[in-house]
Amino acid sequence: MLTYIKLILTAVFWGGTFIAGKVVARDVLPFSAAFLRFAIASVFLVLITCRVEGKLPRIERSLILPIFLLGLTGVFAYNAFFFKGLQSIDAGRAALIIALNPVMISFFSSILFKEELTPIKIIGILLSVIGAMTVISRGNPLHLFQGHLGWGEMNIFGCVLSWVSFSLIGKSVLGKISPLVSICYSSLAGTAALMIPALLEGLWSFLPSYSGITWLGLFYLGFFGTVLGFVWYYEGIKKIGPTKAGLFINVVPLSAVVLAFFLLNEPLTLSLLIGAVLVSTGIYLTNMGFGKLSAQDHH
C-alpha cells in the first residue's frame, strides 16, 4: 500500500514541476534556473548515492562519454528548453506536450532497438500525438499547418527530443551501473555544463533579487521533482515491477493540469481536457506490457 501511495505522490510531484517551473521562470533566466535546480538536486543525489553505495563509485572510462551525454541531453538541454518554454506558455499545456515522452521513447526504441510495436502501442502513440496536437492548437489541429506554433511550444518540443535522447542513451548505461549512480553522475555533468551559460546570464548579480517563493520553487524542482521522485519511482519498480509502476506516469499530465488550474488560475478549456484524456489514454496503451520503463520517462 505504501508503495502505491509513494508512486501517486511521485506522479503529483512530477506534475508539480510544471507549476514550480512556471513560477521560477517568471523571475529566473533559463540557464540560471536549470543550474540552480540541478545544483540543489546534485547535493542530495551525491549524499544518497554515498549512503546507498558506501561511496561515490568509480566510473569505467568507457562510460565517461555516455554519462556526459546524459548530462547534456537530460539535464542541460531539457531544462534550458523547459524554463525557456515556460516563460511563454501555460504550465498545463507544457505538461501535456511533455507527456509525449514515454510514447516517443517507445516509438524510437522500436526503430533503433527493434523493440516490438504492437497494434495497441501504435494506437496509443497515435492517440497521444492527436491529444498533444489538440492541446497545442487549442482544438483546431489545422492551425498547426498554418504556422500557428509559437516559440513556447517549440521549446517544449525541444524538451521531448532531449528526453528521448537521454532515455535512449541511458539504455546503454543502465546495464553497467545502477540507475541511481547514472542519474547522480549525469546530474553532476549537466550541472557543470550549465554553470558557464548561467554565469553569462548574470546569475551572481541576480541571486540576491530572487524572492522566497522563487527559492521555494527551485528547491521543489531540485528535491521533490528530481531526487525524491526518482528514488520513489525506482523503489516502486523494484516492488511492483516496471509495467505497473509505469502506469502511474499517466497521472503526471493530469495532475499538472489540475494543479495549474488551482494554483496558477490557468483556464481548463475543452481542448485541454480532451487533449489530456487522449494523451493519458495513449500513454496507458503504449505502456501496456512495455518491458522496462525508466525514470527517464517523465519529467
Domain range spanning residue 96? 2-297
**pLDDT of the residue at 100:** 86
**pLDDT of the residue at 245:** 83
The pLDDT tens digits for 151-170 are 898 999 999 999 999 988 98
> pLDDT over 70 for what percent of the chain?
93
> CA 111, 128, 249, 26: dihedral to nearest 10 degrees?
110
**C-alpha grid cell for residue 219?**
528547491
Residue 144 has pLDDT above 80, yes or no: no
Specify the long-range contacts of residues 180-183, CB closer than 8 Å, at least 24 apart: 180/45, 180/48, 180/49, 180/52, 180/53, 180/230, 180/231, 180/234, 181/49, 181/53, 181/57, 182/67, 182/70, 183/45, 183/230, 183/295
Mean pLDDT of 94-107: 88
Q: Are 19 and 264 in contact (CB under 8 A)?
A: yes
Q: Are 266 and 90 in contact (CB under 8 A)?
A: yes
Residue 129 has pLDDT above 70, yes or no: yes
Phi and psi based region of residue 54 (left: phi greater than 0; alpha: psi -120 to 50; beta: remaining): left
**C-alpha grid cell for residue 232?**
520513489
The identity of residue 194, as a single letter, is: L
Mean pLDDT of 191-196: 97
Residues counted in the chain: 299
Residue 19 has pLDDT above 90, yes or no: yes
Distances in whole angstroms, Cα of residue 168 to Cα of each of 60, 69, 73, 106, 110 = 20, 11, 10, 10, 11
Of 259, 248, 281, 216, whose CA–CA distance to 92 is shortest?
259
Q: Are 69 and 187 in contact (CB under 8 A)?
A: no
Residue 35 has pLDDT above 70, yes or no: yes
Q: Report how many domains make up the chain.
A: 1
User: What 3-state class would DSSP assign to 182?
Assistant: helix
Burial code of 247-274, b = ≥16 C-beta within 10 A, e = fewer?
Answer: bbbbbbbbbbbbbbeeeeebeeeebbee
The pLDDT tens digits for 38-95 are 999 999 999 999 999 999 999 999 999 999 999 999 999 999 999 999 999 999 989 9
CB neighbour list of residue 135: distance below 8 Å, 6 or more residues apart: 93, 96, 97, 271, 272, 275, 276, 279
The mean pLDDT of the chain is 89
CB neighbour list of residue 184: distance below 8 Å, 6 or more residues apart: 42, 45, 46, 48, 49, 56
**C-alpha grid cell for residue 200?**
553569462
**pLDDT of the residue at 293:** 44
